[in-house]
Amino acid sequence: MSKPQLLIDTDPGVDDALAILMAHAHADIAGLSIAAGNVGLEHTVRNARTLVDLVGATVSVFGGCPTPLVRAPEEDAAFVHGTDGFGDVGFPEPKVAAADEQAALALLRLTRERPGELTLVALAPLTNVALALRLDPGLPKRVKRLVVMGGAVTGQGNTGKVPAEFNIGFDPEAAHVVFEAFPRFDLVDWEATLRHAFDEAEFDGWLSAGDHRAKFFGQVFRTARSFNVKHRRRGIIAADALAMAVAIDPSIITRSEERHVAVELDGRLTRGATVVDWARRLGHPANARIVLDVDQARFAAMVRRALGAS
Instruction: Please state the rounded mean pLDDT for residues 102-125.
Output: 98
pLDDT at 75: 79
The answer to whether residue 233 scores a pLDDT higher than 80 is no
pLDDT at 162: 85
Instruction: Please state the rounded mean pLDDT for residues 28-44.
Output: 97
pLDDT at 1: 64
Instruction: Please state the rounded mean pLDDT for residues 165-179.
Output: 97
Given a contact cutoff of 8 angstroms between Cβ atoms, the answer to whether 166 and 158 are in contact is yes
- Of 37-41, 74-78, 104-108, 203-207, the range with the lowest mean pLDDT is 74-78
The answer to whether residue 198 scores a pLDDT higher than 80 is yes
The answer to whether residue 34 scores a pLDDT higher than 90 is yes
pLDDT at 204: 96
pLDDT more than 90, % of the chain:
88
The answer to whether residue 44 scores a pLDDT higher than 70 is yes
The answer to whether residue 103 scores a pLDDT higher than 80 is yes
Instruction: Please state the rounded mean pLDDT for residues 265-290.
Output: 96
The answer to whether residue 273 scores a pLDDT higher than 90 is yes
Of 118, 160, 129, the closest CA to residue 62 belongs to: 129
pLDDT at 248: 98
The answer to whether residue 288 scores a pLDDT higher than 70 is yes
The answer to whether residue 289 scores a pLDDT higher than 90 is yes
The answer to whether residue 232 scores a pLDDT higher than 80 is no
pLDDT at 74: 78
Instruction: Report pTM.
Output: 0.96
